[in-house]
């Protein structure tokens, strides 16, 4: 499978993403950014140091002025872009993926990287494109500057919190940041280890937060905050030890902004309909974006939004201009410090019947043609095509979309009653081609 995806470059290090391929990618990026200033950082994965050195060497030999910010979490990479004014950037990370993966998050200019940008880098890589020019590499330490800057944007608190860094890149940053703001910090898995020995690096999966839940209860903390492998995603556990859905976190963070100002709030297409309902109720303007980091960020910038969020745990903040899991935790603490325990706030948010994602793998299928066929069959329902095919009603919705990273279709359904959920899901299922419907029925039978 290709390592070039809609939002970034990623694959199993050493097999899919080899060091030889990484060098070709470095020269391809250098071909695009020759003569420009480029920030390069890396996470704590075992393959990262070599990947990072390959990237810096290739960029410098392509005529780029490389700023090496060392081993950092991804929010610091965005911060470094901001303070240096660099045109480009490469963060060596596989984010929330398992330890065997690695990859590159790219910045190619003032706008978020697009599918077209990634496709061009893929084409240049295949062509072994390169330019020969003399560049440079200099080092810049940004950790303390990032902490000082983030502190200036947050509120101090004596609240007790458990920080679960999952042995990721936030391990040596988040505890210092929170302590500088006066928090009583209980550390959990805050020793950087690229093998991720204690839990998988994705905090959006509730099962991955079981140790955090226990630690919150054991210590009597107000909140548990978990970060992914590179610190730009976050998950939460309330004071009762319950893992909290990011749909609800998105609602609360949006309400935090909308108490003092009104404006657009971005949410992704996979969110519960509770999210836009509650944003509207609080006086905001809910705007749906295609699921995926760069798509949400593009909408966030385009709409000049106050805030943007995804159920994956990416949250974007107008104070910063980028997404930051560590800052998301601070904003959540800010809100519960004045509004009461997180468990109570969550219970006040309505809940509808929302299915998990139904993921069906396909082979030899033209996904765009399939989605176009489904959209045509559902034309009477005026489907929303922002992300796959989505049909919407006052009391529910259904969608099918193609994964941008795997040969998968994902489906999801929501309604305000079980009866209505069945009716809405049947509308979509009856519009599927027979082979895809059979895969969905097989998934349902196993589930």
Q: Which one of 142, 173, 193 terminates a domain?
A: 142
In a domain, 216, yes or no: yes
Q: How far apart are CA 426 and CA 437, in angstroms?
A: 11
Among 352, 327, 122, smallest CA distance to 234 is for 327
Q: How far apart are CA 436 and CA 389, in angstroms?
A: 14
In a domain, 1, yes or no: no
**Same domain for 240 and 161:** yes
CB 170 within 8 A of CB 227: yes
Question: What pTM does this model have?
Answer: 0.94
Strand order in the sheet with 322-323: 285-289, 264-268, 307-309, 315-317, 322-323
Q: How far apart are CA 76 and CA 80, in angstroms?
A: 6
Question: What does the pLDDT read at residue 280?
Answer: 97
Cβ neighbour number for residue 233 with a 10 Å cutoff: 28
CB-count exposure of residue 120 (10 Å: 0-12, 13-18, 19+): middle
**Same domain for 359 and 312:** no
Question: What does the pLDDT read at residue 184?
Answer: 98
**Same domain for 95 and 47:** yes
Q: How far apart are CA 242 and CA 216, in angstroms?
A: 9
Per-residue pLDDT of the chain (447 residues; tens, 9 = 90+): 589 988 899 999 999 999 999 999 999 999 999 999 999 999 999 999 999 999 999 999 999 999 999 999 999 999 999 999 999 999 999 999 999 999 999 999 999 999 999 999 999 999 999 999 999 999 999 999 999 999 999 999 999 999 999 999 999 999 999 999 999 999 999 999 999 999 999 999 999 999 999 999 999 999 999 999 999 999 999 999 999 999 999 999 999 999 999 999 999 999 999 999 999 999 999 999 998 889 999 999 999 999 999 999 999 999 999 999 999 999 999 999 999 999 999 999 999 999 988 888 877 668 889 999 999 999 999 999 999 999 999 999 999 998 876 778 989 999 999 999 999 999 999 999 888 888 787 666 555
**Same domain for 369 and 339:** no
**Same domain for 364 and 343:** no
For residue 327, CA distances in Å to 233, 251, 253 come to 10, 16, 11
In a domain, 177, yes or no: yes
For the annotated catalytic residues, the residue numbers are 95
Residue located via tokens 């480009």: 88
Question: What does the pLDDT read at residue 266?
Answer: 98
In a domain, 367, yes or no: yes
CB-count exposure of residue 254 (10 Å: 0-12, 13-18, 19+): buried
State how many domains the chain has: 3
Question: What does the pLDDT read at residue 22?
Answer: 98
* Residue 205, C-beta contacts closer than 8 angstroms, at least 6 positions apart: none
In a domain, 105, yes or no: yes
Q: How far apart are CA 90 and CA 164, in angstroms?
A: 26
Spell out a b/e string for 53-67, using b for 16 or more CB atoms within 10 Å of the CB, else e. bbbbbbbbbbbbbbb
Question: What does the pLDDT read at residue 441?
Answer: 77
Tokens linked to 264: 């657009």
In a domain, 310, yes or no: yes
Q: Which one of 347, 371, 402 terminates a domain?
A: 347
CATH number at residue 94: 3.40.120.10
Q: 369 lies in which domain range? A: 353-446
* Residue 424, C-beta contacts closer than 8 angstroms, at least 6 positions apart: 391, 393, 396, 397, 398, 413, 415
Question: What does the pLDDT read at residue 405?
Answer: 66
Strand order in the sheet with 234-237: 184-188, 160-164, 223-227, 234-237, 243-244
Q: Which one of 314, 347, 380 terminates a domain?
A: 347
* Residue 98, C-beta contacts closer than 8 angstroms, at least 6 positions apart: 196, 200, 201
Q: How far apart are CA 328 and CA 315, in angstroms?
A: 7
**Same domain for 282 and 418:** no
E strand map for 79-155: 88-92, 101-107, 136-139
């Amino acid at each position: 499978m290709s390592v070039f995806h809609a939002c970034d470059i990623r694959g199993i290090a050493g097999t899919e993403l080899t060091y030889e391929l990484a060098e070709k990618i470095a020269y391809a990026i250098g071909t695009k950014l020759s003569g420009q200033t480029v920030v390069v950082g890396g996470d704590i994965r075992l393959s990262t140091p070599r990947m990072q050195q390959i990237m810096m060497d290739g960029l410098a030999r392509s005529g780029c002025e490389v700023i090496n910010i060392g081993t950092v979490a991804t929010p610091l990479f965005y911060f470094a872009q901001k303070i240096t004014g660099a045109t480009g950037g490469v963060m060596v990370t596989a984010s929330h993926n398992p330890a065997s993966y690695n990859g590159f998050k790219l910045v190619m200019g003032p706008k978020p990287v697009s599918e077209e940008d990634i496709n061009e880098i893929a084409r240049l890589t295949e062509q072994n494109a390169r330019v020969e020019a003399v560049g440079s590499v200099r080092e810049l330490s940004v950790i303390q500057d990032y902490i000082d800057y983030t502190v200036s944007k947050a509120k101090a608190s004596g609240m007790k919190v458990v920080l679960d860094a999952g042995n990721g890149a936030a391990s040596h940053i988040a505890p210092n940041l929170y302590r500088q703001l006066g928090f009583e910090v209980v550390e959990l898995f805050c020793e950087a280890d690229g093998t991720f020995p204690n839990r998988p690096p994705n905090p959006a999966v509730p099962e991955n937060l079981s140790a955090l839940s226990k630690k919150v209860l054991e210590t009597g903390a107000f909140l548990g905050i978990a970060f992914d492998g590179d610190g730009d995603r976050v998950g939460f556990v309330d004071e009762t030890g319950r893992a909290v859905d990011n749909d609800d976190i998105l609602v609360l963070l949006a309400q935090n902004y909308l108490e003092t100002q009104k404006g657009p709030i971005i949410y992704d297409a996979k969110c519960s309909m509770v999210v836009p309902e509650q944003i509207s109720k609080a006086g905001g303007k809910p705007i749906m974006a295609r699921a995926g980091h760069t798509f949400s960020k593009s909408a966030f910038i385009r709409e000049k939004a106050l805030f943007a969020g995804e159920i994956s745990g990416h949250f974007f903040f107008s104070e910063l201009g980028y997404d930051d899991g560590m800052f998301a935790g601070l904003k959540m603490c800010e809100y519960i410090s004045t509004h009461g325990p997180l468990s109570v706030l969550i219970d006040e948010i309505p809940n509808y019947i929302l299915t998990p994602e139904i993921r069906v793998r396909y082979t030899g299928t033209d996904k765009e043609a399939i989605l176009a066929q489904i959209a045509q069959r559902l034309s009477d329902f005026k489907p929303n095509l922002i992300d796959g095919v989505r049909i919407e009603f006052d009391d529910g919705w259904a969608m099918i979309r193609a994964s941008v990273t795997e040969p998968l279709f994902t489906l999801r359904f929501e309604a305000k009653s079980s009866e209505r959920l069945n009716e809405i899901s049947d509308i979509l299922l009856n519009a599927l081609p027979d082979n895809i419907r059979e895969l969905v029925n097989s998934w349902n039978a196993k589930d």
